[in-house]
Amino acid sequence: MITRYSYSPMIETGAVVREITVSAGAPEPFTLTEDGGFLLRMDEKCRVYGLGEAIRGINKRGWVYTSWCSDDPFHTEDKRSLYGAHNFLIFDGEVRFGAFFDLPGKITFDLGYTDSDTAVIKPESLHLDLYIITGDTLKAIVSEFRSLIGKSYIPPAWAFGYGQSRWGYVTEKDIRDCADRYRDAGIPLSMLYLDIDYMDSFKDFTVHPERFPDLKAFAQEMKARGIRLIPIIDAAVKREAGYSVYDEGHEKGYFCKDADGEDYVVGVWPGMSVLPDFLNPEASKWFGQQYKALTDLGIEGFWNDMNEPALFYSERGLNDAFKEIKDLEEAPLDALNFFGVRDTLVRLQNSEDDYKRFWHDTPQGKFSHYDVHNLYGYHMTKSAYEALCDLLGEPPLLFSRASYIGAHRYGGIWTGDNSSWWGHILQSLQQMAGLNMCGFLFSGSDIGGFGGDCTRDLLIRWMSFALFTPLMRNHAAFGTRSQEAFAFGDTEVFRHIIELRYRLIPYLHSAFEKAAKEDGMYFRPLAFDYEDDEIAATVEDQLMVGDSLMIAPIYVQNAVARHVYLPEPMTQIRMHEGEISTEELKEGWHYIPVPLGDVVYFTTSPIPLAEPVVNTAESDGNN
């Protein structure tokens, strides 16, 4: 059951697709605090699930989170915000219910951080719709919530293949070499991602004329080898007279404006740029049509980046900063002045002052960006999805960095700039649980880690987990050590793991479709399947995948075994050097050896494995 309480919402966010009548009275079981917060006393056993992409445990109790879409490349445990704003959570205590706080602005979830027995959820200002969702089971609460927010995006079947990406591939040759090395190693590969360097001067919907002299022919050549090219599109548009996307958008008034009605100018990769007003339906539609420049070249998938929106600086902020620094230059230099100089520039990045200084022109009125910040990436995804379905005649592969609940109907998300750290394997597993509750089924993390240098053992362990994530993409930052499956000498070990992914696709794909069509979860914490099992409820490093599979990856450096909890008797499946063996195990705790390169998972009923696919240049394009 869903009960809705309404507190003069500012704008309809579009997250909800079902009409629910507003209830009067108190938002039970919360009590409303004087300063507009929602308070709940949590009993000792109460666990808290949800919050989508948010980091830390599957049980979110004990920390504080702020929904504020943020470009932050350091996902350390002390962070409160990442790229997504996913305001749905479930309290699982003596009282059990779900709650969705539907508002476009900032909101903080103090889940037993200030006082371990109290949750306080505090929107910056009390303009929101609150949905309280009840159900007999945790799964029922999730599916009830999902019926409220609409069906999850389903990508094309080929998107379940393995993809390689790297910020640092610059030319057609870099991409072809990568494809060749995968082929030479006999490792299947379905997608190669193009990062910002394929563009001409970082201009969206352009292709660098020397680096990719004939992208259409190249895309065709790759597709004939079973590999799709997936280019990146950034949110901001370079301000450059003569660049048609800028000229047209400017002329039609489709970019976000300052209080005086001038385009608000921000600095991102292309230098001085402007921001498409995705909250204006006409502007959004227009931006979507620009993808045609690339679909005309045979492109069928995209990833959308920098759409928090991430800002390095703004023209206005930069001018002010230079003035401040000039003033400090005259003052006697001491440590404080020095830090003042340094911080003046650092503060420009993703500055809330900027977010307050530009405006959206929506059918529901004009809003300062700050007030609707969390909707920007969502609307960019919607813009791309709707246009691409039209242009391609079928859904594209599409995923985004920033998101709000509702965006799950139009694309997937990846978890952004993680690092080549062991802890980020576990972090990614835990994020998948929260994301699935919020409808973001097509997700994954940069395999091997984005920032920092990856090692062979880290990549092996990471892939052994990520072969179960719907989006399986190896991606790394510019300047980091190469971390492709061929980068560490011996390629056999990676071939076996990636082949296993392809062998599991029939199962994984149908589990995914079932979750999407039935408002279910592809990844579930054990607590969701074994509600009466007190041990299952505490397991933070295993997940159920589909109806009959459970994973328990290794995420500790040098570990060659781990404890695994079986809530019921299961079959252990072990892949060792490409060979599969099985063993029946009793319920309870097991200490399972998992030497580097073995993949071990568990099933409750037999699941089919496809024949191995091998990468050959003559592939029929279906792998």
| Residues at the contact surface with ligand MIG, assessed by CB under 6 A | 167, 195-196, 232, 305, 401, 416-417, 450, 475
Q: Which of 305, 519, 529, 598 is catalytic?
A: 305
Pairing, β 271-274 against β 397-400: unpaired
CB of 293 to ligand MIG, least distance (A): 19
For tokens 């305001």, name the residue. Answer: 87
Based on CB atoms, which residue is closest to ligand MIG, 105 or 301? 301
Q: How far is CA 442 from CA 398, 399, 415, in A?
A: 9, 8, 11
Do residues 460 and 493 touch, judged by C-beta distance below 8 A?
yes
Residue 195 Cβ vs ligand MIG, minimum distance, rounded to whole Å: 5
Catalytic residue, chosen from 144, 417, 529, 541, is 417
The angle subtended at Cα 464 by Cα 459 and Cα 468, nearest 5°, is 125
Nearer to ligand MIG, 419 or 615 (CB): 419
* Residue nearer to ligand MIG on the CB measure, 360 or 475: 475
Give the distance from CA 298 to its chain's centroid. Answer: 25
CB of 212 to ligand MIG, least distance (A): 16
User: Which C-beta is closer to ligand MIG: that of 4 or that of 75?
Assistant: 75
Rounded Cα distance, 33 and 621, in Å: 59
Cβ proximity to ligand MIG, 471 vs 566, nearer residue:
471
Min dist CB 437 to ligand MIG, Å, is 23
The residue with its CB nearest to ligand MIG is: 167
Measured from the CB atom, the residue of 232 and 429 that comes closer to ligand MIG is 232
**One-letter identity of residue 401:** R
We find the least distance from the C-beta atom of residue 25 to ligand MIG, in angstroms, to be: 44
Q: SS3 of 5, please?
A: strand
Neighbours of 136 (CB within 10 A): 10
**Which residue, 138 or 432, is less far from ligand MIG as judged by CB?**
432
Nearest by Cα to 300 from 216, 185, 200? 216
Tokens of 93: 């205590």
Using an 8 Å Cβ cutoff, are 190 and 230 in contact?
no
Catalytic residue from among 71, 308, 371, 541: 308
Q: What's the closest the beta carbon of residue 255 comes to ligand MIG, in angstroms?
A: 20
Give strand pairing partners of 580: 575
Q: Any bridge partners for residue 51, and if so which?
A: none
Residue 12 a catalytic site member:
no
Does the active-site annotation cover 174?
no
**Residue count (the chain):** 623
Place of tokens 């592809």: 522
Distance CA 182, CA 188 (A): 7
Tell me the closest approach of the beta carbon of residue 417 to ligand MIG, in angstroms.
Answer: 5
The label of the residue with tokens 């709000």 reads 404
State whether residue 343 is helix, strand or coil: helix
Please count the other Cβ atoms lying within 10 Å of the Cβ belonging to residue 201.
12
CB–CB of 275/206 below 8 Å? no
What angle do helix axes 492-517 and 456-466 make, rounded to 10 degrees? 30
Establish whether 247 is a catalytic residue: no
In the complex with ligand MIG, the residue whose CB is nearer, 75 or 401, is 401
Q: In this structure, are residues 120 and 555 in contact, taking their beta carbons and an 8 Å threshold?
A: no
Residue 225 Cβ vs ligand MIG, minimum distance, rounded to whole Å: 24
Q: Sign of dihedral through CA atoms 323, 329, 334, 335?
A: positive
Q: Cite the DSSP H helix spans in 114-197.
A: 138-149, 172-184
In this complex, which beta carbon is closest to ligand MIG, that of residue 100 or of residue 167? 167
- Residue 347 is encoded by which pair of tokens? 């503060």
Q: Which residues pair with 474 in a beta bridge?
A: 164, 447
How far is the CA of 243 from the CAs of 205, 206, 256, 314, in angstroms?
10, 9, 18, 20
As measured in angstroms, the least distance from the Cβ of 401 to ligand MIG is: 6
Our CB check for ligand MIG shows the closer of 67 and 70 to be: 70
Shortest separation between residue 183's beta carbon and ligand MIG, angstroms = 24
Find the shortest distance in angstroms from Cβ 243 to ligand MIG. Answer: 19
Would you say 145 or 462 has its CB closer to ligand MIG?
462
Give 66: exposed, middle or buried? Use CB within 10 Å, 0-12, 13-18, 19+: middle
- Of residues 23, 22, 257, 5, the one with CA closest to residue 123: 5
Least distance CB 166 / ligand MIG (angstroms) = 8
DSSP state of 406: T
Distance of CA 95 to the CA centre of its chain: 31
Strand pairing class (472-474; 162-164): parallel
Q: Are 311 and 274 in contact (CB under 8 A)?
A: no
Alpha helices in 331-420 (DSSP H): 335-346, 352-357, 369-372, 376-392
Give the nearer residue to ligand MIG in terms of CB position, either 196 or 432.
Answer: 196
Distance, in Å, from the CA atom of 168 to the CA atom of 91, rounded to the nearest integer, reads: 44
- Which residues are known catalytic residues? 305, 308, 417
